[in-house]
Structure 1
Amino acid sequence: MDFIFVFEQVLNGLGYGLMLFLIAAGLTLVFGIMDTMNLAHGSLYMAGAYIAARVHESSGSFAGAVLLAVLLTVVVAVVLEALIIRHLYRRDHLVQVLATFGIILIADDAVKAIWGVAPLLASTPAALAGPIEVFPGLPYPAYRLLLIAAGLLVALGLYALVHGTRIGMLVRAGASNRQMAEFMGVRVGAVFAFVFALGAALAALAGAMMAPISAVQIGMGEAILIPALVVIVIGGIGSIRGAFVAALLVGLVDTAGRAFLPPALRAVLPPALAAELGPALAGIAMYVLMAAVLALKPAGLFPARA
């Protein structure tokens, strides 16, 4: 195991973590500010991936496909918030979970009706199909470097929005103490609608960017939702900074577990046992991280209501 392999896995973990951040940031804002458990957040991620893959295939423009995927997903989210989600704000979490789970089932059936059941094969942009030599001896896929750069830029932009603008001040006030924000005259309904649309845009962007390197298929939203929930629990519900740090930790731990655990076990265990145990332990690495963090800080690393 040499330095180049280790550094390559670090880059893989950063890319995965930053895409997780895009999903978890919207989810933690919706849960932290609106106190609404939206299990359908992963369906918005799936919508972004499907729209971007189809538009890119038809038009040949990847940038245009990503932009259109984000815009159309935001439109869907605005309609969804107006028709269903806003009626759940004052309901208990069990009702929210059941209602948004129903949205997941509807979304999956809608995808089957529009695009069929077969997975889509999204293509990488031609200009980014080759590798870039990060340093001598380490060629790395150019598209994965774009994922890292895009994730960092969005994280910086989101931080500037939340901490440097008036709307960001209202968002932070709602995350810290929603009732007090209402007493101070904040138009909570408008803030909620903005937060939900922003979360949808981030989820759609992540789906569109991940489409060329992951399977675009029915159920992909539910699969990514579990790591996103782990991220917001580790980072602290309602905290953008917590979501960013936790997403990087989860991305690195998950990638390191899958890359390093199986070879390490093969060195000390019989091959058949190592082949079974390695992937299983790698799959639970992020849950072990979550348990360790919660044992030390039950509210997460950076809770918004600290």
Structure 2
Amino acid sequence: MDLATFLIQCLNALQYGLLLFLVASGLTLIFGIMGVINLAHGSFYMIGAYMAYALAPIVERTFGGGFFATLVCGLVLSVLLGYLLEWVFFSYLYEREHLQQVLMTYGLILVFEELRSLTVGDDVHGVQPPELLAGTLPLGELMTYPVYRLFISAVCLLLALGMYLVFTRTRLGMMIRAGSSNREMVQSLGIDIQFLYRVVFAAGVAIAVLAGMVAAPVSSVYPGMGNSVLIICFVVVVIGGIGSIRGALLASLLIGVVDTFGKVVFPQAAGVLVYVLMALILLWKPSGLFKAG
């Protein structure tokens, strides 16, 4: 492997890991802070990808905007969707057993898949990246790297920094962390924990939708695309530590490196290496790399 190829694989690992963090961070917020096992989280990623495909012509006709205007519209709709879902469904699950949570969120997967089939169809679709980011950067004499993939990495890094600042430097972050530790105590202090949980859930949904929208030009849009990403996101949550944002970031980057270079160096065992990594880390630290926070 020459230097240019190694550099490209490093960039691919970084981009995949950071994109995985976008999805997994929303899951660890909902799972770690609210205590709900949300199997439908991968469906939010799929919804984001289909939003990038279906909203683009509508936004262009209505507002004259392009890809970035579609991102903004998709984020607004995803926040409303998350708030509505928490109010109608998830607010009744906090005191229920995990089996009931699994059954209801699995039912939501079926509902979302059927709605997707009825509204958009079952074909595979492509989404074009914006013209501003459609070029490539030269790496060596023969190889190039897409600018759009670098854009994905930049978006993920900015969001990771924003989440860190919110959780560690703001009053909202303090209330969220307190609510995840002792819900009754936070309520006794006069904080509306129901509204706080709706904000957290809406944020988790919006992050997953954003991940799907920015990934659509790279991975294409196809039925069931949220199912595979859901499994790997639970691996990220387990490795990083339930409820830990920095743990989700580190775990995502580790999985990105192992998966990307595993496909190059050990292609026959590439599908197993991520789970071997999880097993080794859990043998070392059974509760994950970091505690919640």
TM-score, normalised by the number of residues in structure 2:
0.94
Q: What do residues 178-223 of structure 1 show as CA deviations (whole Å, max 9, x unaligned)?
A: 3443444432111110100000110011000000011311211111
Structure 1 residue aligned with 2:174: 169
**Matched length:** 288
- 1:65 paired with 2:70, answer yes
The residue correspondences of 1:145-184 to structure 2 (distance < 5 A) are: 145-184=150-189
Distance 1:298 1:42 in 2: 25
Structure 2 residue aligned with 1:257: 262
Structure 2 residue aligned with 1:15: 15
Amino-acid identity (%): 47
Structure 1 residue aligned with 2:49: 49
* TM-aligned CA deviation for residue 18 of structure 1: 0.7
Displacement over 6 Å in runs of 4+: none
Structure 2 residue aligned with 1:239: 244
* TM-aligned CA deviation for residue 140 of structure 1: 1.2
Structure 1 residue aligned with 2:149: 144
5+ residue gaps in structure 2? Answer: none
Structure 2 residue aligned with 1:266: none
Compare 21-30 and 127-136 and name the one that shifted more. 127-136
Give the aligned CA root-mean-square deviation in angstroms.
1.6
Q: What do residues 132-170 of structure 1 show as CA deviations (whole Å, max 9, x unaligned)?
A: 236776521000000111110000011111111100011
Distance 1:178 1:138 in 2: 54
Distance 2:136 2:182 in 1: 48
SS in 1 for 2:266: helix
The residue correspondences of 1:38-117 to structure 2 (distance < 5 A) are: 38-58=38-58, 59=60, 61-117=66-122
Structure 1 residue aligned with 2:219: 214
* TM-aligned CA deviation for residue 173 of structure 1: 1.6
Compare 205-214 and 175-184 and name the one that shifted more. 175-184
Distance 2:7 2:57 in 1: 33
Compare 227-236 and 181-190 and name the one that shifted more. 181-190
Q: What do residues 4-56 of structure 1 show as CA deviations (whole Å, max 9, x unaligned)?
A: 11111111011111111111111111111111011111111111111112223
5+ residue gaps in structure 1? Answer: 263-277
SS in 1 for 2:137: strand
Distance 2:126 2:145 in 1: 21
- 1:118 paired with 2:106, answer no
SS in 2 for 1:284: helix
Compare 55-64 and 99-108 and name the one that shifted more. 55-64
